[in-house]
């Protein structure tokens, strides 16, 4: 929820976001519990996720206390604007506590262009690698990514009307050709993976599960003054495609950029070369194989860009849920015997430097201890958080003399933009959700095997086998 309020002075911005906790009806918490929960969220962003992503990308905000009358009036005012799917929970109007965050649809670095239009692209990239764990029981998980498999189950359940051609492995490849295809696929079928805002107002993407703004011509109308400021350049039937192509180019360049001078944390990196670097279900990969093209650009991600850091955090899921679940059961069994140890194990926080330090152990050799199991469980929770985060790219046009000394500038064919890149939705995934993730994984894989793979042309599988050694998609 975005509003203009004196609290903006906390961040030196003209508008901020206030975030309130939500609860199922009749399950409210005490003000002390709410304060503790919100402070945990702030501490997790500050002491843990900043270490993975870098100082400039993560904005943890702070906890503020507000007058109760203001909170109640505000919640009444915005109730009608809440998506229907979220109205099953009540906003906390009793404690007076909220998180105060910067508005990431605005530039986070340069304020001199705030009077100009600001475009913001929100991307939820999802998991960018295929499991490499030896614990995986179904070979299909070593060939087809989780996102592409899950698409089929979601369409079958009525969550979405059509399959998306988007594959996260294309976006995370570092190959501009594959990234362009991934972004175009997101624009064709945004689902809840892409939204575009102009001056803070949603102009493209889904407000709710089914309520989507997806007219390319209307989007091009919004974008044309930004990408082609001189009126005479683009018109006619190719206008929309030209503008969309410019947008995709600019997004790609910002995703590959480094806007954080300091390196993220002391984390040892997980080798990205583990596992295969393409997904057999990706439309891009299928077309490549069908056309017999064995070579393509595969530069890999720059090590300092946000996509690389996101992928590194995701790859803390080294065992896959199938290898992780027995370790979760070991921790659960220990807690059943010693429930008073829950706080000592830091399952519910505090999320401080000591919590982060325990995440640095990347060993996968199980010594049978609860300590090993707990470390892998906590790493898995971090990985799941990174798999579900959103990347916010804010862009604003600037003149050449204004941008000449600024680092974060991206060029299109007729314009230049200052930009900032941030990461959002970094709440740590609940420990209690692990059994659900285990069941969901089985459901996704079983549905895909039964309803998709069994019906596909076996010739395609043979083509992949024949060409597998020749395709260079992810050079490290």
pTM for this entry: 0.88
Question: What pLDDT shows up at residue 3?
Answer: 45
Confidence of residue 2 (pLDDT cuts 50, 70, 90): very low
Which domains does the chain carry? 1-103 (3.30.200.110), 104-460 (no CATH)
Residue 191 confidence (pLDDT): 92
| The pLDDT of residue 405 | 60
What span, in angstroms and rounded, lies between the C-alpha atoms of 165 and 184? 9
Q: Starting at the edge strand that comes first in sequence, how are the strands of the sheet with 16-19 ordered?
A: 2-3, 16-19, 97-102, 62-65
Residue 254 pLDDT > 70, yes or no? yes
Is the pLDDT at 182 greater than 60? The verdict is yes
Q: Please, are residues 464 and 289 in contact by the beta-carbon 8 Å criterion?
A: yes
Q: 117: Cβ–Cβ under 8 A, 6 or more apart, which residues? A: 198, 199, 225, 226, 396, 397
pLDDT value of residue 171? 96
Residue 8 pLDDT more than 60?
no
CA distance 100 to 110: 20
The Cα–Cα gap between 87 and 22 comes to 10
359-399 pLDDT tens trace:
999 999 999 999 999 999 999 999 999 999 999 999 998 87
pLDDT tens-digit profile of 36-51? 999 999 999 999 999 9
Q: Is 70 exceeded by the pLDDT of residue 145?
A: yes
Long-range contacts of the stretch 202-206 (C-beta < 8 A, 24+) = 205/122
User: Residue 151: how many CB atoms within 10 A of its CB?
Assistant: 25
Position with higher pLDDT, 237 vs 224:
224
CA dist., res. 127 & res. 121, Å (int) = 19
Question: Residue 460 pLDDT > 80, yes or no?
Answer: no
Cβ neighbours of residue 40 closer than 8 Å, sequence gap 6 or more = 348, 349, 350, 351
User: If we measure between CA atoms, which residue out of 178, 198, 152 comes closest to residue 455?
Assistant: 152
- Which three-class secondary structure state does DSSP give residue 371? helix
Residue that is written with structure tokens 């803070």 in the block: 200
DSSP state of 349: B
> Which pLDDT score, from 0 to 100, does residue 467 have?
47
CB 119 within 8 A of CB 201: no
Range with top average pLDDT, 107-111, 164-168, 205-209: 164-168
Estimate the share of the chain in helix, then strand, then coil, as percent rounded to the nearest 5: 45, 15, 45
User: H helices of 364-433, where?
Assistant: 370-387, 400-403
C-alpha distances out from residue 208 to 162, 202, 211, Å: 16, 12, 5
* End-to-end Cα separation, the chain, in angstroms: 41
| pLDDT for residue 109 is more than 90 | no
Query: Which residues have CB under 8 Å from 12's CB, separation 6+?
Result: none
Residue 423: strand pairing partners: 58, 391
- Residue range 2-21: mean pLDDT, rounded: 60
- Distance CA(139)–CA(445), nearest Å, equals 10
Average pLDDT over residues 140-160: 95
Pairwise pLDDT comparison (73 vs 114), residue with the higher score: 73
- Give, as one character, the DSSP assignment of residue 206: E
């Amino acid at each position: 929820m975005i509003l203009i309020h004196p609290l903006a002075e906390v961040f030196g911005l003209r508008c901020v976001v206030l975030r309130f906790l939500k609860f199922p009806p009749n399950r409210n918490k005490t003000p002390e519990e709410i304060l503790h929960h919100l402070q945990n969220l702030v501490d997790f962003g500050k002491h843990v996720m900043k270490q993975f992503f870098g100082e400039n990308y993560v904005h943890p905000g702070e906890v503020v206390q507000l007058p109760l009358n203001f909170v109640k009036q505000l919640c009444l005012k915005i109730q009608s604007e809440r998506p229907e799917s979220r109205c099953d929970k009540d906003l906390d109007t009793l404690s007076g506590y909220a998180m105060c965050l910067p508005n990431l649809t605005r530039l986070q670095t340069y304020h001199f262009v705030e009077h100009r239009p600001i475009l913001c692209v929100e991307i939820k990239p999802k998991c960018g690698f295929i499991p490499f764990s030896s614990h995986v029981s179904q070979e299909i998980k070593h060939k087809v990514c989780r996102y592409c498999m899950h698409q089929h189950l979601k369409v079958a359940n009525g969550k979405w009307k059509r399959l998306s051609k988007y594959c996260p492995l294309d976006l995370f490849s570092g190959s501009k050709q594959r990234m362009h295809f991934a972004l175009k696929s997101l624009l064709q079928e945004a689902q809840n993976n892409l939204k575009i805002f102009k001056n803070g107002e949603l102009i493209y993407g889904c407000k709710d599960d089914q309520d989507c703004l997806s007219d390319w011509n209307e989007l091009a109308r919004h974008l044309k003054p930004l990408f082609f400021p001189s009126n005479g350049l683009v018109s006619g039937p190719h206008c929309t495609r030209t503008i969309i192509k410019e947008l995709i180019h600019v997004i790609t360049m910002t995703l590959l950029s480094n806007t954080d001078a300091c390196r993220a944390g002391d984390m040892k990196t997980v080798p990205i070369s583990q596992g295969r670097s393409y997904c057999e279900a990706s439309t891009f990969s299928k077309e490549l194989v069908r056309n017999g093209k064995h070579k393509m650009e595969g530069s890999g991600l720059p090590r300092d860009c946000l996509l690389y850091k996101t992928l590194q955090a995701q790859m803390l899921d080294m065992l896959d849920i199938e290898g992780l679940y027995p370790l979760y059961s070991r921790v659960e069994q220990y807690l059943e015997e010693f429930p008073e140890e829950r706080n000592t194990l830091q399952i519910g926080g505090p999320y401080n430097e000591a919590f982060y330090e325990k995440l640095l152990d990347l060993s996968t050799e199980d010594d049978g201890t609860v300590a090993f199991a707990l470390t892998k469980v906590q790493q898995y929770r971090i990985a799941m958080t990174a798999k579900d985060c959103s990347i916010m790219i804010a862009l604003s046009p600037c003149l050449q003399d204004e941008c000449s000394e600024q680092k974060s500038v991206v060029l299109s064919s007729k314009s230049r933009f200052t930009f900032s890149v941030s990461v959002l939705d970094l709440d740590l995934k609940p420990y209690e959700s692990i059994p659900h993730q285990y069941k969901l994984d089985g459901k996704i894989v079983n549905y895909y095997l039964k309803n998709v793979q069994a019906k596909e042309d076996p010739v395609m599988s043979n083509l992949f086998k024949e060409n597998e050694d020749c395709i260079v998609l992810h050079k490290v």
